[in-house]
């Protein structure tokens, strides 16, 4: 069994570069210049990720996949997921996030009923491997989308829309296959909805003295059931999640700060009443002390 991801988490977000008029975001990520793990998150957009170099672990509520260079994945809307570099060397990836409204407006009722909803209800994630013919065709389209959005030649938005239509048709072809279409439609589990609500509550109140009673009440379950669904979905307790998120926020504050940081003040700002305990938890999740982390950031500037 693969080692459990030691991730830091965040709530629903809008992918970088996403705009209302052009709801497509194409990004290059070098994991050697970020924290080792990308936090848990979800979004309304569909996401495609291609590993450029190194190896990446992708985890959702129900799946854990290790991807090598050349492989990719398609992640459906509102699927809670996280990434982790598992390569001894730098792991780099390209990601594309897009809203289906870019090529199919909700007002196009017959078109969305025929082409949009059947695809969205058929999967959580799809692995893309160049060894398979269908996957290779999709990966080629993805490469074209990346290239045109990186160069941004005049009219790249229209070209991207055409490529996304091709991509969607490939997905439609796949789910129209008899063997594929016999699978039951994908529905969001009760745990999935609960964990999103609990994550949102914790991340809106992390600086306060958050209790298990309050987390459980935010999703209308008992304390014991709250602990159980956290274990089922994130493989950790609500308290562990809270600690990891507090450390994530602290690390971001360190990165963004332009002035000297007081460790005691930083600890208080993210919900720790004791600087010594903050140092202990920070080292547990970041493999260094807060002062060592600050020093590494200054060295890298």
Cα separation of 271 and 250, whole Å? 10
Q: ∠ CA 243-246-249 to the nearest 5 degrees?
A: 150
Instruction: Please give the C-alpha separations between residue 3 and each of 57, 59, 63, 232, 237, in angstroms, as whole numbers.
Output: 10, 11, 13, 15, 17
Q: Which fold has domain 24-181?
A: Jelly Rolls (2.60.120)
Q: Using N-to-C axis directions, what is the helix angle for 238-256 and 190-205, rounded to 10°?
A: 50
CATH of domain 190-300: 1.10.10.60
pLDDT for position 19: 67
Mean pLDDT, each 10-residue run in order, the chain (301 residues): 36 56 90 59 92 92 90 92 84 93 81 86 90 93 95 95 95 73 54 86 93 95 92 87 90 85 94 95 89 82 54
Domain limits, the chain: 24-181, 190-300
pLDDT for position 121: 84
pLDDT in tens, 167-202: 999 999 888 764 444 444 455 578 878 888 998 899
pLDDT for position 9: 36
Cα separation of 189 and 62, whole Å? 10
pLDDT for position 28: 93
**Rounded to two decimals, what is the model's pTM?**
0.66
């Amino acid at each position: 069994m693969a080692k459990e991801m030691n991730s830091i988490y965040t709530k629903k977000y809008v992918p970088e570069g996403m705009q209302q008029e052009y709801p497509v975001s194409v990004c290059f990520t070098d994991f050697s210049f970020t924290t080792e793990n990308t936090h848990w998150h979800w979004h309304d957009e569909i996401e495609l990720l291609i590993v450029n170099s190194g190896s990446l672990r992708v985890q959702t509520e129900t799946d854990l996949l290790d991807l090598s260079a050349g492989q990719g994945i398609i992640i459906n809307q509102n699927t809670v997921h996280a990434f982790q570099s598992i390569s001894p060397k730098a792991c780099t990836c390209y990601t594309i996030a897009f809203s289906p409204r870019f090529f199919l407006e909700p007002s196009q009722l017959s078109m969305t009923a025929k082409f949009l909803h059947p695809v969205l209800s058929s999967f959580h994630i799809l692995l893309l491997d160049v060894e398979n013919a269908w996957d290779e065709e999709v990966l080629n389209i993805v490469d074209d989308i990346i290239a045109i959005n990186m160069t941004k030649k005049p009219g790249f938005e229209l070209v991207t829309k055409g490529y996304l239509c091709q991509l969607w048709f490939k997905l439609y072809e796949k789910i129209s296959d008899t063997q594929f279409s016999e699978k039951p439609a994908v529905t969001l589990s009760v745990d999935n909805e609960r964990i999103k609500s609990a994550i949102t509550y914790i991340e809106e109140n992390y600086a306060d003295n958050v209790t298990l009673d309050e987390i459980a009440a935010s999703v209308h379950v008992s304390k014991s059931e709250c602990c159980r669904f956290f274990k089922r979905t994130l493989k950790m307790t609500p308290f562990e999640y809270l600690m990891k998120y507090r450390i994530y926020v602290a690390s971001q504050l360190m990165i963004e700060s332009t002035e000297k940081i007081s460790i005691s003040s930083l600890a208080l700002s993210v919900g720790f009443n004791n600087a010594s305990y903050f140092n202990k938890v920070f080292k547990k999740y970041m493999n260094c002390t807060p002062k060592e982390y600050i020093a590494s950031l200054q060295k890298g500037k």
